[in-house]
Amino acid sequence: MASEAVKVIVRCRPMNEREKALGCKAVVSMESARGQCFLQNPAATGEPPKQFTFDGAYYQEHSTEQIYNEIAYPLVEGVTEGYNGTIFAYGQTGSGKSFTMQGVVDPSIQKGIIPRAFEHIFESVQCAENAKFLVRASYLEIYNEDIRDLLGADTKQKLELKEHPEKGVYVKGLSLHTVHSVVQCEQIMETGWRNRAVGYTLMNKDSSRSHSIFTVHMEIYTVDEQGQDHLRAAKLNLVDLAGSERQSKTGATGERLKEATKINLSLSALGNVISALVDGRCKHIPYRDSKLTRLLQDSLGGNTKTLMVACLSPADNNYDESLSTLRYANRAKNIKNKPCINEDPKDALLREYQKEIKKLKAILAEQMSVHNLSGRRALSGSRDVLSLTEKCVGKVVLHLSRYSHCIFSELQPLVSSCPQDPTASRTVQDTGGISGGTAGAEVAVTAEGISLPADQQQVLARLQMLEQQVVGGEQAKNKDLKEKHKRRKKYADERRMQLVTALQQSNEDSSEWVLLNVYDSIQEEVRAKSKLLEKMQKKLQAAETEIKDLQSEFELEKIDYLSTIRRLERDLMLFQQLLDQVQSLVRRDCNYSNLEKIKRESVWDEETSCWKIPQPLIQKTRLPAVPALPQPKPAQKSPSAESQERTVWCYFTLFYQFCPISKQ
């Protein structure tokens, strides 16, 4: 399987009103013919600018239409052939990512990559011959590390991220919507865009507070010359990332600050994945550090053709952010993917549609053949009866015509003498009724021959519904549309070849010092060597400056990491002290009174990125019941003892009554 590097282009927007009001200067310049971008350090104007080379460099005067036709067109065309594709915009907040992906309606040349991809897909679908397509769309966002369906009934519902050994990473419960035209795709995009989380910051009044992914799922059904069926599946991910932010510049507080923290964490995880993929010594790729990197796992180092659009701000006060973006983009172009056509997917819905369509057509053809045969038999029988009736009527008319003059002469005196019978008109009406009934019977037979029973109508309705879900080949005979499609593809190929030639020429110029040149004079050799020496000195100075910048950035990142570690340690100590105080208040019969046991029973869940801890339980202690002891029986007194006791009691009573002490 051949590998293919991730395509990376860079785009710089014009100065906005805020930057103009602050008096900012442009520090970004580009050479589009060679795909080179230059960034000048505003604090060291005497040093040469930093140089980066990409697959394309587009400055302020370039439109989104030009970017799409030159770079994005081949990738989207590959999706219609069965390859997976991903286009995502990367950069700081307010650098023009959403403008590049979504665009504006007016002027039309600034229409975004996403709507242009819709037009391209359905143009290819309509021009395709001997092929059918099932096109579906989904739209999700990652807000505060929670996945939401922007096209679902409840856009606030959190969805789960799952992984299948064959399907890979997918979102459980994400809605898929079948689309048949560009208009339907644009309506879905606008619906999702209205449901997406946006907010105001100092750098952008409509700042995206979430990462959004619009995915076009395609299933392609073709029949080759031998009559064999072939099925392919592809998907196009159109990703609009939220921008990295600095709280000091955006003025984010409260909920905006929380959103910015989550955005920066996910973008940092994306940068770590890019760095790990480029570093050949790294054995572990941290895809699981963020839901964004898990969803883009196949796009970075997997089976996908990927295009990264790095968006820059030209202002000097955004120099650090622009440099960080260019460095990440420069690393990303070294990522190797292994795209291949996805043939015969097991979970293809179009395969089920084609099977059901063939089955319904067979059922309908069988029922129609049987019904037509019975209809022809009924129709031929009715025609035989009709011909026999016509023969009989003809004979009767002939027989009556022979005696008509005799009958008329005999009945004429009687008719003239009798009053007119009103049933004469009724006879005509009855005749007309009979003839009308005969005609009605013929119509009924005819209608019976072309009508469909209820079960056939259901089969036909189901067949039409399935065929409406599938598109393709509507403009297969439109020569103008086909020619336009070929011209756009040819233009993209020519532009790619021009860029490759320019890069090769640049590499040859940089390596000309290796070649042994022949000079006509010493002066010519001195001039050539002096020019070459000056060029090498500039490169050496640029390399030394780059080393210093990297060392300073490393120190700053180290300080940042250390401060983060100290903050986390303080938070950990606070929680530990609170826990120590609260633990003594926990009931002894609760399972949380033994925290060490709770820690041992807790398990980390990779899917949800959280701990699964035991539920609090109250275990009441009950002592075992004591068995009842047998009660001693009272001793039975003898009659003599009872009489003695009564006698003593009587003496005691008398003594108490007559005793002088008792009277006192």
Question: Is 449 known to sit in a ligand binding site?
Answer: no
Give per-residue pLDDT as tens, 392-438: 445 444 444 444 444 444 444 444 444 444 333 333 333 333 333 33
- Segments of the chain with pLDDT less than 70: 1, 202-206, 245, 247-253, 344-351, 353-355, 357, 367-469, 476, 506-517, 628-664
Half-sphere exposure of 430 (CA within 13 A, CB side): 6
Q: Which residues contact 243 (CB under 8 A, 6 or more apart)?
A: 91, 92, 93, 94, 95, 97, 204, 207, 208, 263
Element (H, E) at 117: helix 113-127
Q: pTM for this one?
A: 0.69
Residue count (the chain): 664
Q: CA 226 to CA 514: how far, in whole Å?
A: 56
CB 181 within 8 A of CB 189: no
Locate all alpha helices (DSSP H) within 602-638, ordered by sequence.
Answer: none
CB 236 within 8 A of CB 339: no
CB 204 within 8 A of CB 90: no
Q: Which amino acid is at 55?
A: D
Strand partners, 347: none
Burial class (CB in 10 A: 0-12, 13-18, 19+), 115: buried
Q: Where are the domains of the chain?
A: 7-347+477-499, 348-411+436-446+457-475, 533-583
- Residue 465, φ and ψ in degrees, nearest 5: -65, -45
pLDDT of amino acid 420:
43
CB 338 within 8 A of CB 304: no
Distances from the Cα of 167 to the Cα of 175, 294, 423, angstroms: 16, 13, 85
Question: Is 94 known to sit in a ligand binding site?
Answer: yes
pLDDT of amino acid 660:
53
- Return the closest-CA partner of residue 121 out of 136, 111, 106: 136
Q: CA 629 to CA 619: how far, in whole Å?
A: 30
Distance from CA of residue 405 to its chain's centroid? 94
pLDDT of amino acid 237:
94
pLDDT of amino acid 410:
46
Question: Is 96 known to sit in a ligand binding site?
Answer: yes
Distances from the Cα of 172 to the Cα of 121, 164, 168, 218, angstroms: 26, 11, 12, 19
Q: Which amino acid is at 1?
A: M
Q: 81 by DSSP, 3-state: which? A: coil
Q: How, if at all, do strands 211-223 and 207-208 pair?
A: unpaired
Give per-residue pLDDT as tens, 107-149: 888 889 999 999 999 988 888 887 888 899 999 999 988 899 9
Question: Is 97 known to sit in a ligand binding site?
Answer: yes
User: b or e along 584-606 (b: 16 or more beta carbons within 10 Å of the residue's beta carbon)?
Assistant: eeeeeeebbeeeeeeeeeeeeee
Q: CA 313 to CA 111: how far, in whole Å?
A: 20
Question: Is 95 known to sit in a ligand binding site?
Answer: yes
Question: Is 227 known to sit in a ligand binding site?
Answer: no
Q: CA 393 to CA 115: how far, in whole Å?
A: 75
Cis omega (within 30 of 0) on the bond before 107? yes
Question: Is 325 known to sit in a ligand binding site?
Answer: no
CB 378 within 8 A of CB 265: no
pLDDT of amino acid 566:
92
What does the DSSP 8-state code read for residue 210? S
The CATH classification of domain 7-347+477-499, taken from the options 3.40.47.10, 3.40.50.300, 3.40.850.10, 2.60.120.10:
3.40.850.10
Distance from CA of residue 39 to its chain's centroid? 35
Q: CA 506 to CA 535: how far, in whole Å?
A: 13
- Return the closest-CA partner of residue 334 out of 2, 664, 4: 4
What does the DSSP 8-state code read for residue 618? B
Question: Is 91 known to sit in a ligand binding site?
Answer: yes
Distances from the Cα of 135 to the Cα of 5, 139, 203, 469, angstroms: 27, 14, 38, 8
Distance from CA of residue 611 to its chain's centroid? 27
Q: Which residues contact 79 (CB under 8 A, 6 or more apart)?
A: 85, 121, 216, 218, 234, 235, 236
Strand partners, 30: 37
pLDDT of amino acid 408:
43
Tokens of 332: 């990303």
pLDDT of amino acid 511:
56
Residue position matching structure tokens 């005999």: 410
